[in-house]
Structure 1
């Protein structure tokens, strides 16, 4: 999650102008002064940057920076479990 977290923090600092000293894993988006529109804009930006499908309805000012980074990381991780067999005998 570290590279995702680092990019998220950088995005919050540069695009949303959150002072670097306020950014931390337990800071909520609301504490960082992101209103509901800014939170949705953040989610759209993350989806475009990472090519992931985040649930916009789950976007909330109550989420922490670590929780948002975890949501992206979970989408980037390859699925675990058995590989489906296509029946071709290969």
Structure 2
């Protein structure tokens, strides 16, 4: 599991008390029983942690954990993203 997805899972389990066994990349916010206010709060929490500009209008019940994770990953500076096949030396 990548760093963003791991942190997202941690936030969902600790701050929003979502059972860990319910969280998969395909789980929607509705599946996790997050109402619209909780979804916006999740986005704000993630923005603050990762220092990325998330659009909280996208915090809809049909958004999946995987989609949120991918969105954050694409917004991170290159240095924080794992580089596929990147070998230094």
- TM-score by length of structure 2 reads 0.83
Q: What is the 5 A alignment of 1:1-90?
A: 2-78=2-78
How many residue pairs get aligned? The number is 78
Question: Could you tell me how far apart the structure 2 residues matched to 1:25 and 1:77 are?
Answer: 22
Q: Which runs of 5+ in 1 are unaligned?
A: 79-90
Q: Which runs of 4+ in 1 moved over 2 A?
A: none
Over residues 31-90 of structure 1, what are the superposed CA-to-partner deviations in whole Å (9 max), with x where a residue is unaligned?
Answer: 100000000000000000010001111111110100010111111043xxxxxxxxxxxx
* Structure index of larger Rg: 1
| Unaligned segments of structure 2, at least 5 residues | 79-89
TM-score normalized with structure 1 length: 0.82
